[in-house]
């Protein structure tokens, strides 16, 4: 089939490779324009742009698709279908209707749950037991189109957003290839999404990253793994410089879920004493921290401007002792 591929981040690149590998004629790739990145702030192409270059596919990086010229250029490719995977721009009606079979989208959730910008992070932060990928027909609404195919994936209790991202990226690439094969055979059917169960995965903000230690241990744990490795859940503490420093928590585990019971290894002076072991209290040198109910144990952390390290390495470099308030 003649395919226009539209995508930008790492998540999208395996799908482009899979479609090329299955013999589809990818006539053009649309992606976001190169942006300054790194210490030198040199312009960096998107992962999809880099992959398209390797395959010798023409790349377009328009800043808008809402002009007559953009629609005319899109139609000129005479595509059978456009495959959209985390492109990052809204497609206007002229674009949606241009290909023979319209535009289909690979979305990283089990629709209608987690429509929107951050479905992977939000699923883990909400404590969902499973996620998946869906192929849907695009329409003007935000991820509201009818769904053709889905694949489900269990979310392990310690799985991070980064791990789920990679698993769904590979799963989605295979699903997209199977969907195009069915479309080519004329056997790809679409079913409207149910109205019940709709949730929205709003874009992650800086406020989403700040750890609220008054929450229970499971909620804090889900927040940490849902934001790992990027942008990272964080707290602030005086690590010995006389002022608060931001610390990202990149990996943790639940140390205890019962209120009023100190985790194994906590000092006797803190064990079972809510006045001393309130939310945000460092309970033990292994970086166990009290939550509103229970406690979490940090496994990997990162100071601002430093590399990520194990909790043991972090504690050796930080002036923190049990009883410190984070």
Count CB atoms within 10 A of the CB of residue 166.
Answer: 14
> In terms of domains, do 298 and 154 share one?
no
Domain of 306 in residue numbering reads as 206-317
Residue 205 reports pLDDT greater than 90: yes
- pLDDT value of position 259: 56
Residue 277 binned pLDDT confidence (cut-offs 50, 70, 90):
confident
Residue 326 lies in a domain: no
In this prediction, residues 48-67 reach a mean pLDDT of 97
- pLDDT value of position 38: 65
> In terms of domains, do 176 and 229 share one?
no
> In terms of domains, do 49 and 184 share one?
yes
DSSP letters along 78-102, please?
--SEEEEES--SPPPHHHHTSSTT-
Q: pTM, whole model, 2 decimals?
A: 0.92
Q: Are residues 299 and 311 in contact, defined by beta-carbon separation less than 8 angstroms?
A: yes
**% of the chain at pLDDT higher than 90:** 88
- Domain of residue 189, CATH code: 3.40.50.170
> In terms of domains, do 49 and 114 share one?
yes
- Report the DSSP beta bridge partners of residue 93: none
Q: Look at residues 200, 226, 243 and tell me which one is the last residue of a structural domain.
A: 200
> In terms of domains, do 220 and 301 share one?
yes
Split into its structural domains, the chain has a count of 2
> In terms of domains, do 145 and 227 share one?
no
> In terms of domains, do 24 and 164 share one?
yes
Say which residues have a Cβ less than 8 Å from residue 280's Cβ, sequence separation at least 6: 213, 214, 235, 289, 290, 325, 326
Compute the residue count for the chain: 326
Residue 269 reports pLDDT greater than 90: no
Residue 324 lies in a domain: no
217: helix, strand or coil: helix
**H/E element, 249:** strand 244-256
Residue 325 lies in a domain: no
> In terms of domains, do 181 and 220 share one?
no
> What does the pLDDT look like over 1-20, one tens digit per residue?
999 999 999 999 999 999 99
138, 143, 89, 84: which is closest to 119 by C-alpha?
Answer: 143
> In terms of domains, do 181 and 243 share one?
no
Q: Look at residues 145, 166, 200 and tell me which one is the last residue of a structural domain.
A: 200
Residue 230 lies in a domain: yes
């Amino acid at each position: 089939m003649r395919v226009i591929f539209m995508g930008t981040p790492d998540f999208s690149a395996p799908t482009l490779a899979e479609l090329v590998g299955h013999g589809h004629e990818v006539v053009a790739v649309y992606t976001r324009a190169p942006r300054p990145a790194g210490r030198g702030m040199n312009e960096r192409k998107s992962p999809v742009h880099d992959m398209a270059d390797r395959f010798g596919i023409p790349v377009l990086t328009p800043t808008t698709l809402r002009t007559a010229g953009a629609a005319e250029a899109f139609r000129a490719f005479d595509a059978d279908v456009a495959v959209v995977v985390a492109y990052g721009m809204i497609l206007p009606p002229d674009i949606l209707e241009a290909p023979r079979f319209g535009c289909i989208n690979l979305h990283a959730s089990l629709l209608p749950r987690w429509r929107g910008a951050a479905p992977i992070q939000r699923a883990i932060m909400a404590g969902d037991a499973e996620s998946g990928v869906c192929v849907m027909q695009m329409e003007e609404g935000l991820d509201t189109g009818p769904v053709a195919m889905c694949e489900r994936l269990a979310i392990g209790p310690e799985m991070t957003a980064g791990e789920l991202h990679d698993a769904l990226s590979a799963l989605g690439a295979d699903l997209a290839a199977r969907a195009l094969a069915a479309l080519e055979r004329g056997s790809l059917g679409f079913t409207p999404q149910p109205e019940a169960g709709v949730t929205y995965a709003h874009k992650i903000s800086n406020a989403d990253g700040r750890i609220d230690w008054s929450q229970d241990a499971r909620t804090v744990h889900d927040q940490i793994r849902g934001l790992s490795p990027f942008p990272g859940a964080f707290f602030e503490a005086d690590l010995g410089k006389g002022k608060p420093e931001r610390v990202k928590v990149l990996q943790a585990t639940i140390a205890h879920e019962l209120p009023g019971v100190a985790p194994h290894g906590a000092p006797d002076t803190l064990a079972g004493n809510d006045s001393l072991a309130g939310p945000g209290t460092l309970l033990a040198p292994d970086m166990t921290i009290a939550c509103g109910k229970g406690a979490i144990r940090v496994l990997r952390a990162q100071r601002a401007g430093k590399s990520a390290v194990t909790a043991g390495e972090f504690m050796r470099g930080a002036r923190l002792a049990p009883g410190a308030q984070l």
